[in-house]
Amino acid sequence: MRKLILNLAITLDGFIEGPNGEIDWLVRDPEMDFGDILNEILSDKDAIFYGRVSYDKWGNFQPDKEASSKIKVAYERMHSKQKYVFSRTKTGDDTDAIFINSDIEERVLGIKQQPGKNIWLYGGAEITTTLLNLDLIDEFRLAVHPVIIGSGKPLFQNIRDRHKLKLTDVEGYKSGVILVKYQSETLAT
């Protein structure tokens, strides 16, 4: 079955954005070019899940003209994936993105059972919470950036149950970023 994998950058204090949506706390690393990161994330995925807010902000993002060709190619690759957008009300736009308005558990299980590569759960926080509470996330691949920002949008909020995870990999980089991978175990009791 395809796995649903949350790939996301967070601060040490667990935020995915500052209070005004800032991501200026992201640490740049010569070892980890953003195009490489994106390519690495996309390498085992052929679909992307977005919450509606994240989709509006990033779902059709185009890099600057000055961006490296590697980043441009990575975004092209990203935009060639099948996108799914979770929204209570919006039913579509002028792209091939599929909007999901209801029956989330059933729809997500259906998509996971389709043949294909894994699915990237892009975020944001609300759809992550919903899918985590439904125990539908199979893996967490977090890039923990070496900064405490104090306030903003937390990745984990309104989580109902305990979730035990299995650590499968952790690696620190010169930039101070830690890449950590967990598999979902069972709901802890």
**Residues making contact with a second copy (CB under 8 A):** 12-14, 25, 132, 140, 146-151, 155-156, 158-167, 169-173, 176-178, 180, 182, 188
Give the C-alpha separation, 55 to 87, whole Å. Answer: 10
Nearer CB in complex with a second copy: 91/158: 158
Cα angle 49-54-57, degrees, rounded to a multiple of 5: 130
Q: How far is the CB of 88 from a second copy (least distance, A)?
A: 23
Q: How far is the CB of 23 from a second copy (least distance, A)?
A: 13
Q: How far is the CB of 164 from a second copy (least distance, A)?
A: 5
Nearer CB in complex with a second copy: 58/173: 173
Nearer CB in complex with a second copy: 50/140: 140
- Dmax over CA atoms of the chain, in Å, equals 51
Residue 188 to residues 68, 99, 166, 176, 181, Cα–Cα distance (Å): 45, 32, 12, 31, 18
